[in-house]
Amino acid sequence: MAVKKERITKETSIRMSVDRGLEPSTIDTGVGFLNHMLDLLAFHGHFVFDIKVEGDLDVDDHHTTEDVGILLGQSIAELNEDKSKIQRYGTAYVPMDETLARSVVDISGRPCLHFEAVFSSQKVGTFDVELVKEFFYAVAINSRITAHLDLIRGGNTHHEIEALFKAFAQSLRIALSDSNVNRIPSSKGVIEE
């Protein structure tokens, strides 16, 4: 069942639908590079996104990027995956040519982001590279997922960011995939919602 959300503030108006699946996504944030990264995230994470944003891009890309992260995190949290069926942990290393990124996630119910990436430049096209951390922070906190993202080897900045998004997507897909064990993957017997 798709999670549908709307969020309207003085900075952004966002309409978003998030589902699991392999169908193509429809993404229009008004920020080309962010569209590209969200498309990768959906594709490699086995998500279907329908996202439409009207943001204050005359200021910069900050509010749009952060608010999409907030709503995406909330939506992922509300997908209501059956916790007794999921792997819970996911690890992925993803190379993008000369660059290498790693993402390790825990569907823990305990929001936490460790983000370590020294990017080779501050802009990709018109996109502020510092917004990558803001995006992942918003997703992790609002989805209540623990995520450790590391850029292990850098090079081209577009590649660096793309590798991080693909690694995060892969790790999330693994963590949400079927464990084939009908048991909550916690010795405590419960994963906080």
For Mn ion, the binding residues (CB under 5 A) are 162
Cα–Cα separations (whole angstroms), residue 108 to 38, 141, 149, 190: 23, 11, 16, 10
Min. distance of Cβ 127 from Mn ion in angstroms?
Answer: 12
Min CB(181)–Mn ion separation in Å: 37
Measured distance CA(67)–CA(25) in Å, rounded = 19
Least Å from the CB of residue 151 to Mn ion: 15
Shortest Å, Cβ 164 to Mn ion: 12
Of the two residues 74 and 170, which places its CB atom closer to Mn ion in the complex? 170
Closer residue to Mn ion in complex, CB, 110/125: 125
Q: Which residue from 159, 175, 155, 164 is spatially nearest to 116, judged by alpha carbons?
A: 164
Residue closest to Mn ion when measured from CB atoms: 162
Closer residue to Mn ion (CB): 12 or 157: 157
- Among residues 69, 8, 5, 60, the alpha carbon closest in space to that of 31 is found at 60
- Given the complex with Mn ion, which of 61 and 162 has the nearer CB atom? 162
| Residues linked to residue 49 through DSSP beta bridges, in sequence order | 18
